[in-house]
Structures are given as C-alpha cells and as structure tokens.
C-alpha cells in the first residue's frame, strides 16, 4: 500500500472528555439514525457509542485502520480505504458475507439483522462532509475538543506533544499509532488502555499481511501442482504402455 500523505484522522483525548455524549447524538443526527445519545455499545443504529468507566468516558467507533482488515477481506471491495483517510462502504456492491465483521480486529462493523435488504453499518468519519472540507459531525459537536480532526501525522505529533508536556496526566502511549499497522483514529488516555477495554496484543504489522503470505503462494501452487500432476500422469501411463509393449513382444516370441 502506498503511504498516503495528508490523510484525515481523529484524535480522541479521554482526559478531556466530559461524557456529555454530544458526539453520540450528533452522529445519529448526521446519519439519520433513530434513538438518542445514550448508546453504550455500537449497533446498526449507533455508529459511535460511549462507555462510562468511573470518571472516564470512552468513545467507541471505527478505527479507520491504515491497512484495514475489513477492506482487505471484502471479496468485492465494498469497503475501501479512501485516500482521504476514512474507510468507506458501498452497500450496493456488498454481498452480505459478513467476513468484514469476522475480520475486524476491533469488532466494529454491525449488521442490520432485521432488514430484508441488510447492510453493514459502521462509522464512515462523515466522509461526505470531510470531502467538502467540513468537520465530522462528532468533532463539530464536541464542546471541549476531546475529539479533534486533522492530518494523521500532525495529530500524532500533537498527541506526543501532549504526553511530553504533561507526562503525569497521560499514559505514555498513543493507541492507534502502531496497533494493527496503525489507525486513523488515535486515542490518548490517563490510564493504561487495557483498563478501558481497548483490544490488546495487536501486532504492529497490518493483519492483511497474514493472509497475503498465503495468497501470494496460490499461482505457484497452481503451476507446480499442475505440472506435478501431469508428470505423474505421464509416468504412470508410460509405465503401462511399456509394460503392454513388453507383453506384446513376449507374446511374439512365444
């Protein structure tokens, strides 16, 4: 994958969040989804949600991976990483195989289980607004700039800057900098991320590489396998011909 320059990203600073849930409500409004701002778990109608853990409030949303598993596994490319940054989805192409849901290391995509014509639902970083230079709805709604938007490189620098400036207030890790090859949604937290239920133990290499290591062998398997099978066929049938010829000759002599 070529390195995208100036891809849009989000930085969520949990130390700043006051738990007002404006982002949750604004997301619903922007996407025309039913319900209010109380969602605590992602669903087909809540593309962002907020978990309250004591004084801390943790947003959940698609991480917009740099090399997203969901897009890599989609057989028809209904999901894809845009140059702009967001991972976008086109329901018209989707087969509904739900492999994206199985594959996402962050368990993000949701399905419209109760619809006859269902779609996968997940945060799209308000791609239409972003394409027009506007802010995503959640960023726009946040009264304290707990979620901000910007270029990924700049936001990463900003995140490290905040940690360096007030090391006592931050856990010294930017979640999303390296997880699963890096994501376009970055988190800062006052406590270790494991305590807040963030997925742990993800490799720094993109997960699609695991699949590619096998898939790239396919042409070789086909060529070698095909050649081997034909070789075996030739040998086994040749042996038979030789044997037949031999018997014929012996018969002649007899």
Task: List the one residue from 23, 26, 73, 88 that touches ligand SF4 (CB under 6 A).
Answer: 73
Please report whether residue 76 would count as binding ligand SF4 according to CB under 6 A.
yes
Tokens of 197: 């239920």
Task: List the one residue from 10, 23, 26, 42 that touches other proteins (CB under 8 A).
Answer: 42
- CA dist., res. 105 & res. 100, Å (int): 10
Is 73 or 127 the residue whose CB approaches other proteins more closely?
A: 73
Closest CA to 158 of 142, 139, 145: 145
Among ligand SF4, other proteins, none, what does residue 155 contact (CB within 5–8 Å per kind)? none
Is 117 or 254 the residue whose CB approaches other proteins more closely?
A: 117
Tokens of 204: 């720094």
The mark string for 102-131 relative to other proteins (x by CB under 8 A, - otherwise) is: xx-x-x-xxxxxxxxxxx------------
Please report whether residue 181 would count as binding ligand SF4 according to CB under 6 A.
no
Please, what is the minimum distance in Å from the beta carbon of residue 213 to ligand SF4?
19
The mark string for 1-30 relative to ligand SF4 (x by CB under 6 A, - otherwise) is: ------------------------------
- Please say whether the beta carbons of 94 and 119 come within 8 A: yes
| DSSP secondary structure of 47-108 | SSEEEEETTEEEEE----BSS-HHHHH-TT--EEE-TTS-EEE-TTT-----HHHHH-TT--
Is 93 or 157 the residue whose CB approaches other proteins more closely?
A: 93
- DSSP assignment, residue 38? -
Residues 116-175 close enough to bind ligand SF4 by CB under 6 A: 120, 122
Task: List the one residue from 17, 23, 27, 79 that touches ligand SF4 (CB under 6 A).
Answer: 79
Tokens of 244: 């037949």
- Please say whether the beta carbons of 177 and 204 come within 8 A: no
């Amino acid at each position: 994958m070529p390195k995208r320059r100036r891809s849009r990203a989000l930085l969520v600073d949990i130390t700043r969040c006051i738990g007002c849930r404006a982002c949750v409500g604004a997301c619903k409004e922007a996407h025309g989804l039913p319900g209010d701002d109380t969602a605590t778990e992602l669903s087909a109608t809540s593309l962002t949600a907020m978990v309250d853990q004591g004084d801390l409030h943790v947003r959940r949303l698609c991480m917009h991976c740099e090399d997203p598993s969901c897009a890599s596994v989609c057989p028809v490319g209904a999901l894809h990483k845009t140059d702009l940054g967001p991972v976008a989805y086109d329901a018209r192409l989707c087969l509904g195989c739900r492999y994206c849901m199985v594959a996402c290391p962050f368990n993000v995509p949701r399905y419209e289980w109760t619809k006859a014509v269902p779609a996968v639902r997940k945060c799209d970083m308000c791609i239409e607004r972003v394409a027009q230079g506007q802010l995503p709805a959640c960023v726009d709604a946040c009264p304290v700039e707990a979620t901000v938007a910007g270029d990924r490189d700049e936001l990463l620098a900003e995140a490290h800057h905040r940690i360096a400036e007030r090391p006592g207030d931050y856990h010294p890790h930017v979640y999303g900098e390296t997880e699963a090859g890096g994501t376009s949604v970055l988190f800062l937290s006052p406590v270790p991320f494991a305590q807040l239920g963030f997925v742990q133990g993800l490799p720094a290499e993109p997960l699609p590489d695991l699949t590619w290591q096998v898939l790239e062998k396919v042409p070789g398997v086909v060529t070698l396998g095909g050649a081997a099978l034909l070789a075996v066929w030739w040998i086994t049938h040749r042996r038979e011909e030789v044997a037949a010829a031999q018997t014929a000759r012996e018969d002649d002599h007899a």
